[in-house]
């Protein structure tokens, strides 16, 4: 008899792995296989507010050349199955894990897929660890001592010491020191970065969604590079040095703490850069741009006091925000160092220059290999999206609750407001618009009544969801943040007894805001509960317990939107948080899915001829004074950009080799409002443009309208997963009605489906696949006791709604003759089944119910069936009960 999969693994596959020198247990952390390796926990699935996990991803065997270097997967099949049956699955697992070799076997035949050669071959035995490692090195170029781009590159390593001296193979920081091991995608990121560094690449980019551990990845990269001695071997005369560069103190300090395993009881190589003079006697430095840019009394900036070759590696956190403008000079000063950029946002129009800088040494690849006509791009070393993190189950999933006020739905005309009796205050020198819409609210025109309506609605939602759940509210500016915090404090302060229930975390609040933020971020501290902010919480702030992200400000930037969403994406075991809500008053959620799509969103490369020129001059719109050093870029297509360059001493700029097209000119200067201008260029022609920039107006006066009637116009609380469409309760009911009628055009059809076990389950599975969950509708409608059949019949056909208890009572009153047909024992079972139905619905009238109490104690299905005259007759009784609980007379015309 052929062996099943478990016996095939134990008796055939594992002996062959051991013959090839793969061991079952870690020996010196080398050459071992990990059986049943689960590399994702499974997606968090929400049905209403109830959470369940999807199926985790698990590989039969993960082969590790060393503890720090996985190299292959093995998929096992039963002895009587063909190994081809498992090959595609093995390849999918290997692709997930970023490995080059995949194997499928039934214990006799072994199939290998090699991702370097893209070919399959059949083997008599598994390759040895050393053979796989040598093949991997040969195909990745690590044996060729040359310096260049990714596909070229350096270094020969001595075999005897290689496992300790090669950073790829060196172990990760031990879990007892770091508190955790890298997840599979973090391992991939670490491996890709180190591989590029060893090849001699100087500019590297990691794109990983918020909450996926970019700083931990950077720490493990540095751990391997320093502990293996690789960085210092590049210059034996001095120690290896690393700079972690951020633009906020909170990010700098988080990184400093993450790197704490480098500190020992006797020494700490870490140093926080606080100001002049520089400390040149440490190895790991942590600083912010503002500090490094600060001048001393002679005007010399702090970064200029470090030798240009002082650092070997600079890690630039949130690099999309930090490398362009004044801070770029810091990076240029340390140009000989390796620059590792980290960002949580995919390539967008806003950060195309970031990608151009950090990905310049990456090989060009097709945007879509199946559609080469779409062109090529240079991708980051590794990217891991918000959507993938949610799909894998490492990030919290979310539900969207979209709300619009009446003024957001219709816009506001000042004339209409005055007719309503509202007071309108227009400052001098302000020219009012004819109509104001959501983007102008609280920026140009203050509407306290709108804010109060939004806050009141938010308060009602918080009462429903849980008013002690931590919540971030993103407001337009500091004044708006203060108002929202005050209104929420007034709403919940008295009943909670908390003086800091809602606080504004804004720059003007200074040290107190920092203390509030520390307490807000601490999962063990109950207050503050609500933090309102304009910008400070949008990036870098880790608040795992945050359950609600609220948009009261208009968002136009996909990058900023993704950063804000990331504030809620962390899973928090302390508070049992595995999902979060997005409460959207300003339609910010229209920006969803930018990060979840593959790079196919990137466009084709603009076609030539590239013979057009663009010249221009930038000046102050009021004084006409030329602006020197303004940043000028030309966007010649989505995600394709030239520049930025700086205007010269006369405020001029010039671009040549441009295509003939409608291009976007992007001009910015410190203290001025950025401009984006469409310019049409012509082949073999120079286009000249003048660019006046308006100075930024801080504290600009706003129109104020008070006494306005504002209410909630509509509210969407249901999301259709397949399309992302968000529906109000009425829209969701209509959607449910259409889908039910499509499958059951008449109420008789619905009843016949319902009493048939197989048809009912198929029907409900189809509805759930379409994001229709009748039990959620029942909960929202306040009808939790209603029978699901009656909920659907009411929505689709207007039938009266009955509760399960009413149906159970009606059955007992109506079906006395049915009950009298049975013996006392059988009748006892039927009455218990009626009670089970009363509590749980029709699924309690299926054979599986006999495995639970009290039926289990009565002998289970086998014993109970004897009271009915056999298993078949017991099944007939269940079927008849279903039909009698939903009598055909109810649906007969």
Q: Looking at residue 621, which CATH number applies to its domain? A: 2.60.40.10
pLDDT digits (tens, 9 = 90+) for 760-784: 999 988 887 787 888 777 766 777 7
DSSP 386: H
Q: What is the pTM of this model?
A: 0.71
Looking at the domain assignment, is residue 146 inside a domain? Answer: no
The secondary structure element, H or E, covering residue 665 is: strand 662-668
The segment with the largest mean pLDDT, out of 22-36, 52-66, 140-154, 370-384, is 52-66
User: Closest Cα to residue 253, out of 567, 542, 566?
Assistant: 542
Are 471 and 462 in contact by the 8 Å Cβ rule? The answer is yes
pLDDT digits (tens, 9 = 90+) for 356-406: 788 888 888 887 777 777 777 788 999 898 888 888 889 888 888 888 888
The two structure tokens encoding residue 190:
């670490």
* β-sheet bridge partners, residue 658: 612
Q: What is the mean pLDDT of the chain?
A: 85
- Percent of the chain predicted with pLDDT > 70: 89
In the predicted structure, residue 595 carries a pLDDT above the cut 60: no
Confidence of residue 540 (pLDDT cuts 50, 70, 90): low
Looking at the domain assignment, is residue 676 inside a domain? Answer: yes
Are 68 and 227 in contact by the 8 Å Cβ rule? The answer is no
Instruction: Tell me the average pLDDT across 731-739.
Output: 88
Residue that the structure tokens 């968090």 belong to = 44
In the predicted structure, residue 509 carries a pLDDT above the cut 60: no
Instruction: Tell me the average pLDDT across 6-13.
Output: 91
Looking at the domain assignment, is residue 700 inside a domain? Answer: no
Instruction: Tell me the average pLDDT across 484-498.
Output: 94
Task: Mark which of 559, 584, 599 sits at the end of a domain.
Answer: 599
Q: What is the structure's pLDDT at 150?
A: 38
Rounded to whole angstroms, the Cα distance separating 880 from 884 reads 6
Looking at the domain assignment, is residue 702 inside a domain? Answer: no
Q: What is the structure's pLDDT at 123?
A: 94
More confident residue, 20 or 358: 20
Residues 674 and 732 in one domain: no
Residues 207 and 335 in one domain: yes
Looking at the domain assignment, is residue 153 inside a domain? Answer: no
pLDDT digits (tens, 9 = 90+) for 283-309: 999 998 888 888 888 889 899 999 999
Task: Mark which of 736, 767, 802 sits at the end of a domain.
Answer: 802
In the predicted structure, residue 151 carries a pLDDT above the cut 50: no
Which CATH number goes with the domain that contains 167?
Answer: 3.40.50.300
| Residue-range definition of the domain harbouring residue 75 | 5-140
Q: What is the structure's pLDDT at 598?
A: 33
Say how far residue 152 (Cα) sits from the centre of its chain: 33
Q: What is the structure's pLDDT at 608?
A: 65
Listed range (181-185, 226-230, 524-528, 706-710) with the worst mean pLDDT: 706-710
Residues 364 and 405 in one domain: no
The two beta strands, 270-272 and 101-105, are unpaired
Q: What is the structure's pLDDT at 385?
A: 86
Listed range (40-54, 142-156, 469-483, 869-883) with the worst mean pLDDT: 142-156
More confident residue, 822 or 719: 822
pLDDT digits (tens, 9 = 90+) for 344-370: 877 655 556 677 788 888 888 887 777
Which CATH number goes with the domain that contains 25?
Answer: 3.90.1570.30
Q: What is the structure's pLDDT at 146?
A: 38
Q: What is the structure's pLDDT at 720?
A: 59
**191: which residues sit within 8 A by CB, 6+ positions away?**
69, 98, 168
Confidence of residue 89 (pLDDT cuts 50, 70, 90): very high
Residues 763 and 862 in one domain: no
pLDDT digits (tens, 9 = 90+) for 307-338: 999 999 999 887 765 544 556 788 889 999 99
Q: What is the structure's pLDDT at 48?
A: 62
Q: What is the structure's pLDDT at 796?
A: 92
Looking at the domain assignment, is residue 706 inside a domain? Answer: no
Q: What is the structure's pLDDT at 145?
A: 40
Listed range (492-496, 545-549, 721-725, 752-756) with the worst mean pLDDT: 721-725
Instruction: Tell me the average pLDDT across 69-81.
Output: 93
Residues 607 and 591 in one domain: no
Confidence of residue 653 (pLDDT cuts 50, 70, 90): very high
Q: What is the structure's pLDDT at 320?
A: 61
Task: Mark which of 384, 407, 440 sits at the end of a domain.
Answer: 384
The two structure tokens encoding residue 782:
């306040």
Report angle CA 863, 868, 870 to the nearest 5 degrees.
70
Q: What is the structure's pLDDT at 47?
A: 65
Cis amide linkage into residue 609, ω under 30° from 0: yes
Residues 173 and 288 in one domain: yes
Residues 379 and 495 in one domain: no
Q: What is the structure's pLDDT at 154?
A: 36
Rounded to whole angstroms, the Cα distance separating 68 from 182 reads 10
In the predicted structure, residue 143 carries a pLDDT above the cut 70: no
Looking at the domain assignment, is residue 649 inside a domain? Answer: yes
In the predicted structure, residue 223 carries a pLDDT above the cut 80: yes
Residues 483 and 555 in one domain: yes
Residues 477 and 447 in one domain: yes
In the predicted structure, residue 673 carries a pLDDT above the cut 90: no
The two structure tokens encoding residue 208:
């990983």
Looking at the domain assignment, is residue 714 inside a domain? Answer: no
Residues 89 and 36 in one domain: yes
In the predicted structure, residue 737 carries a pLDDT above the cut 70: yes
Rounded to whole angstroms, the Cα distance separating 129 from 122 reads 18
Residues 380 and 246 in one domain: yes
Number of domains present in the structure of the chain: 6
The two structure tokens encoding residue 147:
């310096």
Residues 105 and 29 in one domain: yes
């Amino acid at each position: 008899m052929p062996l099943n999969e478990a016996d095939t693994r134990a008796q055939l596959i594992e002996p062959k792995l051991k013959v090839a020198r793969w061991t079952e247990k870690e020996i010196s952390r080398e050459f071992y296989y990990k059986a049943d390796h689960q590399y994702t926990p499974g997606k968090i699935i929400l049905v209403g507010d109830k959470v369940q996990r999807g199926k985790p991803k698990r590989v039969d065997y993960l082969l590790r050349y060393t503890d720090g270097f996985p190299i292959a997967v093995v998929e096992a099949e039963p002895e009587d199955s063909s190994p081809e049956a498992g090959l595609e699955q093995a390849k999918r697992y290997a692709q997930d894990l970023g490995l080059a070799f995949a194997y499928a076997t039934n214990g006799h035949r072994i199939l290998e897929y090699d991702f370097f050669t893209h070919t399959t071959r059949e083997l008599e035995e598994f390759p040895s660890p050393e053979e796989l490692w040598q093949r991997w090195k040969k195909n990745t170029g690590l044996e060729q001592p040359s310096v260049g781009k990714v596909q070229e590159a350096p270094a020969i390593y001595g075999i005897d010491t290689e496992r300790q001296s090669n950073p790829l193979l060196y172990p990760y920081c031990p879990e007892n020191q770091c508190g955790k091991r890298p997840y599979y995608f973090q391992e991939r990121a670490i491996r890709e970065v180190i591989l590029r560094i060893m090849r001699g690449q100087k500019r590297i980019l990691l794109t990983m969604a918020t909450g996926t551990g970019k700083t931990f990845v950077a720490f493990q990269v540095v751990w391997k590079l320093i502990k293996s001695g690789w960085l210092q071997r590049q210059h034996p005369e001095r120690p290896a040095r690393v700079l972690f560069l951020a633009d906020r103190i909170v990010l700098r300090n988080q990184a400093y703490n993450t790197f704490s395993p480098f500190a020992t009881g006797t020494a700490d190589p870490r140093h926080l850069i606080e100001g002049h003079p520089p400390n040149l006697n440490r190895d790991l430095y942590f600083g912010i741009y503002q500090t490094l840019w600060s001048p001393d009394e002679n005007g010399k900036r702090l970064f200029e006091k470090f030798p240009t070759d002082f650092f070997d590696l600079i890690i630039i956190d949130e690099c999309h925000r930090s490398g362009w403008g004044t801070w770029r000079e810091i990076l240029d000063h340390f140009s000989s160092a390796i620059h590792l950029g980290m960002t949580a946002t995919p390539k967008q129009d806003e950060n195309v220059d970031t990608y151009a800088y950090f990905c310049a040494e990456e090989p060009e690849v097709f945007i879509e290999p199946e559609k080469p006509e779409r062109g090529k791009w240079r991708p980051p070393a590794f990217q891991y999206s918000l959507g993938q993190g949610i799909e894998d189950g490492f990030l919290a999933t979310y539900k969207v609750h979209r709300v619009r006020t009446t003024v957001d739905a219709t816009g506001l005309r000042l004339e209409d407001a005055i007719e309503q009796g509202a007071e309108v205050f227009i400052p001098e020198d302000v020219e009012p618009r004819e109509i104001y819409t959501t983007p102008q609210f609280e920026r140009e025109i203050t509407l306290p009544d709108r804010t109060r309506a939004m806050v009141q609605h938010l308060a009602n939602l918080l009462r429903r969801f849980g008013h002690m759940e931590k919540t971030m509210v993103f407001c337009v500016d500091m004044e708006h943040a203060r108002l929202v915090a005050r209104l929420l404090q007034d709403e919940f302060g008295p009943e909670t007894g908390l003086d800091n229930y809602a606080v504004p975390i804004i720059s003007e609040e200074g040290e107190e805001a920092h203390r509030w933020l520390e307490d807000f971020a601490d999962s063990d501290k109950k207050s503050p509960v609500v933090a309102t902010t304009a910008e400070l919480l949008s990036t870098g702030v880790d608040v795992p317990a945050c359950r609600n992200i609220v948009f009261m400000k208009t968002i136009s930037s996909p990058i900023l939107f993704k950063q804000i969403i990331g504030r809620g994406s962390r899973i928090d075991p302390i508070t049992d948080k595995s999902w979060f809500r997005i409460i959207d008053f300003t339609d910010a959620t229209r920006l969803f899915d930018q990060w979840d799509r593959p790079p196919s969103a990137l466009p084709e490369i603009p076609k030539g001829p590239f013979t057009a020129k663009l010249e221009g001059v930038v000046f102050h719109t009021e004084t006409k004074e030329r602006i020197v050093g303004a940043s000028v870029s030309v966007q010649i297509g989505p995600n394709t950009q030239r520049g930025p360059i700086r205007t010269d001493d006369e405020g001029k700029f010039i671009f040549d080799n441009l295509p003939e097209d409608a291009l976007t000119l992007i001009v910015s200067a410190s203290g001025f409002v950025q401009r984006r201008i469409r310019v049409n260029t012509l082949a073999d022609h120079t286009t000249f443009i003048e660019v006046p920039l308006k100075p930024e107006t801080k504290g600009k006066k706003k129109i104020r309208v008070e006494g306005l009637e504002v209410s909630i116009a509509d509210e969407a609380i249901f999301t259709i997963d397949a399309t992302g469409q968000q529906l109000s309760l009425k829209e969701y009911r209509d959607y449910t009605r259409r889908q039910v009628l499509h499958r059951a055009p008449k109420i008789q059809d619905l009843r016949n489906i319902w009493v048939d076990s197989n048809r009912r389950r198929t029907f409900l599975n189809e509805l759930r696949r379409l994001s229709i969950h009748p039990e959620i509708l029942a909960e929202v409608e306040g009808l939790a006791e209603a029978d699901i059949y009656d909920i659907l019949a009411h929505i689709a056909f207007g039938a009266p709604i009955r509760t399960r208890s009413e149906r159970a009572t009606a059955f007992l009153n109506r079906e006395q003759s049915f009950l009298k047909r049975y013996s006392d024992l059988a009748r006892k079972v039927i009455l218990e089944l009626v009670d089970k139905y009363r509590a749980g619905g029709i699924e309690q009238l299926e054979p599986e119910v006999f495995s639970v109490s009290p039926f289990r104690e009565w002998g289970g299905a086998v014993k109970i069936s004897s009271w009915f005259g056999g298993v078949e007759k017991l099944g007939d009784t269940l079927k008849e009960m279903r039909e009698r609980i939903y009598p055909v007379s109810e649906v007969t015309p």
